[in-house]
Structure 1
Amino acid sequence: MTGAPSHAALLDAMSDGMYVVEPSRLITYWNRAAEAISGFSADDMVGRWCGDGRLNHVNERGVELCGASCPLVATMRDGRPRSVRVFLHHRDGHVRPVHVTAVALRSEDGTISGAVETFRDDSDRRELEQDLREAERLSLVDPLTGVGNRRSLDGCLSRRIADWERHGTRFAALVLDVDRFKQTNDTLGHEAGDAVLMVLARSLAHAVRATDHVVRTGGDEFAVITGPITDDELRSLTARLQVVAAQGRYEDLSPMRITVSIGAATVAVGDDAAALMRRADHQLLRAKRAGRKRDADDATTAP
């Protein structure tokens, strides 16, 4: 067969960057894809020590890999291939994500005579992962208020119930309803109503503890699924939510005031998510019947 491409031509045709090092880590070969990905030419790199700081791979925690954590060094030490995802420093100064694979080279007698590293641009994978994370985040967020939605409520309740059943971690569910919200909408219009919900949601999110989860369940209704909580902490949280709702600055509502009614239920033996939320809803009805701007919980009152 005539006209067969040389090994160098084949390696230069690869879409992955590739370079070869001796046991001393001097670079002996640098292909065209390596030039394209890194910005460094073969003239820049061949004959240089690979750990001189030009590429300076770092992981996602910012740890430099050209020292004790270098995959090439480890592969030349034990002969095992390694694959890692790192950030490579481009000649222009920016960093770019690459997927690196290191493989040992062996002489005829089987001794390790160097190593080859291939690397490919990993931006598409990272962008895809970011897109997937963002899509997942958006699927759990209420688009109007920015707090959780019903799907996030279901997931949070499932986790809390599981912790309760396994470890006895006591938590509570609170349901909140804006008093006379229909009157606000009918008097001032839906834009004003939406503005109320956005302000209220932010106030609630800032008032709860780090372990608590705020969601909008629909319309003017919200829920809070708490983390581990005592009866005193529950009463304190409920009172705080009442305060922040009433103290929010709601434009165009003067002289009207925004208040909320709250029902709370603490998890009990035999509860599933639906049973717990039914008891919280029952307490909300009790609060509404008592005159609005009220709260009721089952810590002291049977459902």
Structure 2
Amino acid sequence: MFIDRDSYRRIVDDLYDGLYLVDRNRVIQYWNKAAERISGFTAAEVIGKSCSDNILTHVDRDGNTLCKGMCPLAMTIADGKTREAEVFLHHKEGYRMPVSVRVNTLTDADGNVIGGVELFTSRSSSRSIERRIRDLEKKAFYDNLTRLANRNCVENELQIRFEEQKRLGVSFGILFMDIDHFKEFNDTYGHDVGDLVLRFVADTLVKNARPSDLIGRWGGEEFIGILRNVTHENLEILGNRLRVLIENAYITLKTEQLHVSISVGATLMLDNDSSDTLLKRADMLLYESKRRGRNCLTIG
């Protein structure tokens, strides 16, 4: 059966996964509809540009930038081997999103490598997030600006976690997070950019949290994460992962890239804790991170 070129294009555009094609210099030649939906960048914005031109700028779990070096796609073009990887792409709105990528070569009729193809799929728990947003809307327990759980919802969730720990022995911990130098963003760029920074941090936190975690806005530029069933080590690893992802993401303004960092206080619930003592300890640990120079996590 013969399938014409237009039919192939429709099939590729209808894929659920993002797909793009590059030449040997990693200049983008094709960008499907799913790539637009997942990344926020339209085909018109990226075709003819290099992967590393402030587009996806993949980083790994440790925050290392991949696009300006030998990323999976570059390595596959170089050696012809297919690869799979889990990375974090830069969304057009600034936040980091976890994706699974699969890369392969493009060859001409003689088998010569002429470029590469990358297929990428979002790994964020979007459906779980959407269900949680609908639940929060029903209870009026969400923050209008960031669309995260608000302070009332966080306080309710803490009580539920305390009861769960007493009845079932399920441990939990909290991350108390604060945007570094937030007042300077407002003073320098205005409150609209300040709101953009808050949404950017909120999106990065919630899209990279586990489905069982709750991320909420405590107030102002402060956020709280409630993480179920974690150890001291897990809590530190998860908290630092979120911190590093924010540090290595950016918001693109007209003439510059705006980088943001957070300071974090992390602690597990203790047997004799109340909400007040737990939150007070997390707050003290957060300010210890500020005292140490910001953009770090202090656990205790």
Question: Which residue number corresponds to residue 275 of structure 1?
Answer: 277
Give the Cα–Cα distance (whole angstroms) in 1 for the partners of residues 229 and 178 of structure 2: 23
CA offsets per residue over residues 52-97 of structure 1, 9 Å max, x none? Answer: xxxxxxxxxxxxxxxxxxxxxxxxxxxxxxxxxxxxxxxxxxxxxx
CA offsets per residue over residues 90-134 of structure 1, 9 Å max, x none? Answer: xxxxxxxxxxxxxxxxxxxxxxxxxxxxxxxxxxxxxxxxxxx87
Query: Larger relative CO (CA 8 A, sep 6+): 1 or 2?
Result: 2
Picking from 275, 284, 287, the partner of 1:285 is: 287
Q: CA deviation at 1:256?
A: 4.3
Secondary structure class of the residue paired with 1:165: helix
Question: Which residue number corresponds to residue 185 of structure 1?
Answer: 186
Conservation of the 8 A alpha-carbon contact between 1:176 and 1:263? yes
Question: Which residue number corresponds to residue 299 of structure 2?
Answer: 297
Conservation of the 8 A alpha-carbon contact between 1:174 and 1:280? yes
Conservation of the 8 A alpha-carbon contact between 1:179 and 1:260? yes
Q: CA deviation at 1:254?
A: 3.2
Task: Structure 2: give runs of 5+ residues left out of the alignment.
Answer: 1-133
Task: Structure 1: give runs of 5+ residues left out of the alignment.
Answer: 1-132, 299-303
Q: CA deviation at 1:181?
A: 0.5
Give the Cα–Cα distance (whole angstroms) in 1 for the partners of residues 233 and 197 of structure 2: 29
Q: CA deviation at 1:170?
A: 1.0
Give the Cα–Cα distance (whole angstroms) in 2 for the partners of residues 259 and 135 of structure 1: 27
Give the Cα–Cα distance (whole angstroms) in 1 for the partners of residues 256 and 181 of structure 2: 15
Counterpart of 2:292, as a letter, is A
Question: Which residue number corresponds to residue 144 of structure 1?
Answer: 145
Greater Rg, structure 1 or structure 2? 1
Fraction of identical pairs, as percent: 33
Secondary structure class of the residue paired with 2:250: coil
For the aligned residue pairs, the C-alpha RMSD in angstroms reads 1.7
Counterpart of 2:197, as a letter, is V
Question: Which residue number corresponds to residue 264 of structure 1?
Answer: 266
Conservation of the 8 A alpha-carbon contact between 2:250 and 2:258? no
Going from structure 1 to structure 2, the CA distance change for 1:183 and 1:228 (only over 3 Å counts) comes to same
Conservation of the 8 A alpha-carbon contact between 1:170 and 1:267? yes
Q: CA deviation at 1:137?
A: 2.9
Conservation of the 8 A alpha-carbon contact between 2:250 and 2:259? no
Q: CA deviation at 1:230?
A: 1.2
TM-score of the two chains, using structure 2 as the length reference: 0.53
Give the Cα–Cα distance (whole angstroms) in 2 for the partners of residues 172 and 134 of structure 1: 23
Question: Which residue number corresponds to residue 222 of structure 1?
Answer: 223
Secondary structure class of the residue paired with 1:142: coil
Conservation of the 8 A alpha-carbon contact between 2:174 and 2:224? yes
Give yes or no for the alignment of 1:204 onto 2:205.
Answer: yes
Q: CA deviation at 1:167?
A: 2.1
Q: Structure 1 segments of 4 or more deviating over 4 A?
A: 133-136
Going from structure 1 to structure 2, the CA distance change for 1:216 and 1:135 (only over 3 Å counts) comes to closer
Paired residues for 1:120-199 under 5 Å: 137=138, 139-199=140-200
Question: Which residue number corresponds to residue 80 of structure 1?
Answer: none
Give the Cα–Cα distance (whole angstroms) in 1 for the partners of residues 221 and 170 of structure 2: 30
TM-score of the two chains, using structure 1 as the length reference: 0.52
